[in-house]
């Protein structure tokens, strides 16, 4: 942070030091809880921020105290030359941590270049180890490539590698225990993410969320007892558990059953340069026009401050007042 800059603190006293950058809304698979099956409307390429624009915005955010960045999408590995961007971001003084969330389909071919660009932390999205079920969930037959991607990432030396599994009731129950076993054997932490109302087809319903407690029960019955891990970072959203036999850990992003808004430290920028203070925000602030329209870094920094200071207390998923944002997950950047 600049010596003169004050940190990004919102009206509820929450410090914001975590930036999620979406680099594309395009994707090479079609998860049913995220994208529509066909007729996907993608953002025009001319509207997508260039690497230079992303780097400039990241530098401004770091000047305001951001020190953690996660790159996401859509599928970030479909963005050409992503390692070049990672290298640029890594070069920003003040960044402590860079991570990438990917579906893993292109990971085998890109793992080494990503590692060479300095990336170490990966979240790979995988809901099932069963080929037919993978096809059913993602509408694509790409399981083998994702598994090859995980192998390649481990060979390169990435760590930690976490696996994101979306918890949809009536869909993934058969996969919960096999995935956790796979994680225990291979040294991956599985993160079960409660299904959120951000799917493109509007199929979300509270009754379709496989809750963290349901998953804990499936794991305890199928594998053995778990114990909660005391949280070293209360601002991290995941609830962590380890198996009592000492073999492996799992985490839960329980946005529905145990919202973590009170500890939120995140801001997001979409691939078309819209700044968001929350995944579920109904409003966005157009930073791209500022980046392209001759605004100074100070002017853009002032906008970021304004957005953070106007941030709401939290989403209202559990209330009748909840309104889903107009953009689905793939277009916001998960
Ligand atoms: N394509 C990459 C991937 O799938 O990891 C990065 C973008 S994706 C939008 C980021 C994460 O969002 C995924 O790992 C997936 O677990 C999660 N996700 C997608 N749709 C979701 C939904 N409706 N509810 C909860 N999590 C979701
Ligand atoms: Fe693509 Fe990720 Fe959405 Fe699946 S969750 S459709 S991989 S962006």
Q: Is the per-residue pLDDT at 73 higher than 90?
A: yes
Distance 295 CA to ligand 1 centre (A): 33
Q: Is the per-residue pLDDT at 64 higher than 70?
A: yes
Whether the CB of 189 sits within 6 Å of ligand 2: no
Cross-strand pairs, 193: 166, 253
Q: Is 1 domain-assigned? A: no
Could you give the 3-state DSSP secondary structure of residue 47? Answer: helix
Whether the CB of 74 sits within 6 Å of ligand 2: yes
Average pLDDT, the chain: 95
Q: Is the per-residue pLDDT at 180 higher than 60?
A: yes
Q: Is 224 domain-assigned? A: yes
Q: Is 160 domain-assigned? A: yes
If one counts the domains in the chain, the total is 1
- Cα dihedral angle (319, 334, 200, 316), rounded to 10 degrees? 10
* CA of 166, closest atom in ligand 2: 5
pLDDT of residue 2: 55
Cα distance between residue 5 and residue 290, in whole Å = 20
Q: Is 246 domain-assigned? A: yes
Q: Supply the pTM of this predicted model.
A: 0.96
Residues 245-271 have pLDDT tens digits of 999 999 999 999 998 899 999 999 999
- Domain CATH number, residue 257: 3.20.20.70
Cross-strand pairs, 252: 192, 239
Residue nearest to atom 12 of ligand 1 (CA): 334
Residue nearest to atom 10 of ligand 1 (CA): 334
Cα 118 to Cα 70, 121, 217, 315, distances in angstroms: 13, 10, 38, 34
Hey, how many other C-beta atoms are within 10 angstroms of the C-beta on 125?
23
- The ligand minimizing its distance to the Cα of 40 is 2
Q: Is the per-residue pLDDT at 3 higher than 50?
A: no
Residues 4-36 have pLDDT tens digits of 568 999 999 999 999 999 999 999 999 999 999
Q: Is 92 domain-assigned? A: yes
Question: For the chain, what is the radius of gyration of the CA atoms?
Answer: 19
Q: Is 11 domain-assigned? A: no
* CA of 101, closest atom in ligand 2: 2
Q: Is the per-residue pLDDT at 319 higher than 90?
A: no
Q: Is 5 domain-assigned? A: no
Q: Could you tell me how far CA 171 lies from the centroid of its own chain?
A: 21
Residues 187-219 have pLDDT tens digits of 999 999 999 999 998 899 999 999 999 999 999
Distance 72 CA to ligand 2 centre (A): 10
Q: By residue range, what is the domain housing residue 106?
A: 18-332
Q: Is 10 domain-assigned? A: no
pLDDT of residue 145: 98
Average pLDDT over residues 36-50: 95
Under 8 Å between Cβ of 123 and 114: no
Average pLDDT over residues 98-114: 98
Average pLDDT over residues 174-189: 98
């Amino acid at each position: 942070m600049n010596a003169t800059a004050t940190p990004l603190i919102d009206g509820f006293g929450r410090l914001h030091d975590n930036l999620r950058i979406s680099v594309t809304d395009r994707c090479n698979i079609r998860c049913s809880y995220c994208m529509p099956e066909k007729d996907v409307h993608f953002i025009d390429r001319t509207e997508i921020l260039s690497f230079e624009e992303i780097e400039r915005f990241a530098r401004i955010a770091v000047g305001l105290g951001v020190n953690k960045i996660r790159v996401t999408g859509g599928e970030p590995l479909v963005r050409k030359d992503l390692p070049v961007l990672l290298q640029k971001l890594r070069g920003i003084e003040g960044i402590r941590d860079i991570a990438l969330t990917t579906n893993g389909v292109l990971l085998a071919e890109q793992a080494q270049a990503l590692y060479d660009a300095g990336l170490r932390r990966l979240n790979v999205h995988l809901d099932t180890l069963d080929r037919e079920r993978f096809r059913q969930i993602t509408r694509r037959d790409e399981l083998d490539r994702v598994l090859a991607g995980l192998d390649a990432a481990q060979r390169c030396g990435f760590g930690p590698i976490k696996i994101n599994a979306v918890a949809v009731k009536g869909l993934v129950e058969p996969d919960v225990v096999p995935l956790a076993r796979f994680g225990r054997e291979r040294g991956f932490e599985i993160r079960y993410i409660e299904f959120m109302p951000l799917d493109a087809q509007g199929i979300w319903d509270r009754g379709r969320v496989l809750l963290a407690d349901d998953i804990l029960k499936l794991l305890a019955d199928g594998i053995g007892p778990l114990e909660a891990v005391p949280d070293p970072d209360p601002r991290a959203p995941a609830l962590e558990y380890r198996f009592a036999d000492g073999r492996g850990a799992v985490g839960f992003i329980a946005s529905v059953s145990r919202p973590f808004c009170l500890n939120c430290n995140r801001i997001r920028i979409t691939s078309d340069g819209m700044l968001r203070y929350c995944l579920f925000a109904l409003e966005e602030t157009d930073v791209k026009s500022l980046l392209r329209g001759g605004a100074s870094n100070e002017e853009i920094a002032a906008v970021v401050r304004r957005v953070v200071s106007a941030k709401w207390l939290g989403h209202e998923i559990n209330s009748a007042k909840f309104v889903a944002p107009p953009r689905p997950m793939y277009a916001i950047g998960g």
